[in-house]
Structures are given as C-alpha cells and as structure tokens.
C-alpha cells in the first residue's frame, strides 16, 4: 500500500532531509511551504499523515490544526506537529487543538521516522 505523508514546513533544508528519510522508508512525500494555503492543500492531498510546523508564513500551525479539526474530512487526520518552541504553553495549545503527536526541534531523523510510522498505524 502506498503510504502518503504531507509535510508543511518552510525550511527547505529541513524539508529535504525529512523527505529523504521518509522516502527511503517507502513513503510518498508531498511538501508545502505556505501556512495561508495549507488547509486547502491538506484537504486536496488527503495524506495518511500530516507533518506540520508551527511557525509558518501566513498562518501558524496552531490555526491550521484548529481549522483542520473543524472539517469532517480531516477531523481525525493523524498530525505530527514540529516546533522550535518547547514551552509547556505551546504543547498545551497544540493538545487543545487536537494534535496527535508533538515534537520539538531539534529532533533526530529516527524520532521523526518512528513517529510518522506510529501515526500511520494508529499509534501516537
């Protein structure tokens, strides 16, 4: 089965690295750089897992997540949120908006791979 992940992140070199490790594990990786149009992109692409950065141009990851949870098509979509903000307040905010898993930068490749695979199989 073709596993599909959408990566919404605005750092091109982080995108390349994550794309590389997930591709080698059999994932089809689509990427998107812009926060403002991210919700449309997610609904159109309908990925198995969404990897979402918090600090994005146009719209924050928190807002995107909130909007996705309000749509029936993406209400249950597994979302891994990536952030450079490690404070408890941000984690609380992400959890309140319905994040599936939360990871702070700098993360390791193995952690991202494990998290994305776990989300696809219904774990956290």
Among 3, 4, 14, 67, binds other proteins (CB under 8 A): 14
Q: What is the DSSP letter of 99?
A: -
Give me 35's structure tokens: 């926060």
Site stretch for other proteins (CB under 8 A), options 15-23, 26-34, 39-47, 93-101: 15-23
Q: At what angle do helices 61-70 and 88-96 cross, to 10 degrees?
A: 20
Candidate segments 28-36, 42-50, 91-99, 101-109, binder of other proteins by CB under 8 A: 101-109
Size of the site for other proteins (CB under 8 A): 17
Candidates 55, 69, 98, 118; binder of other proteins (CB under 8 A) is 55
Residue by residue, DSSP assigns 51-87 as EEESS-SSS-HHHHHHHHHHSTTTTT--EEEEES---
Assess contact for 86 and 109: CB atoms under 8 A.
Answer: no
Residues in contact with other proteins by CB under 8 A are 11, 13-14, 16-18, 20-21, 24, 55, 84-85, 105-109
């Amino acid at each position: 089965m073709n596993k599909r992940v959408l990566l919404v992140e605005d750092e091109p070199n982080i995108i390349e690295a994550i794309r590389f490790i997930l591709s080698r594990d059999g994932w089809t990786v689509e990427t998107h750089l812009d926060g403002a149009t991210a919700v449309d992109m997610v609904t159109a692409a309908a990925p198995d897992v969404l990897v979402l950065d918090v600090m994005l141009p146009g719209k924050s990851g928190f807002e995107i997540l909130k909007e996705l949870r309000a749509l029936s098509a993406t209400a249950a979509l597994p979302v891994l949120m990536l952030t450079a903000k490690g404070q408890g307040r941000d984690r609380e905010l992400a959890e309140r908006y319905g994040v599936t898993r939360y990871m702070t930068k700098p993360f390791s490749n193995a952690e991202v791979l494990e998290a994305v695979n776990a989300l696809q199989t219904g774990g956290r």
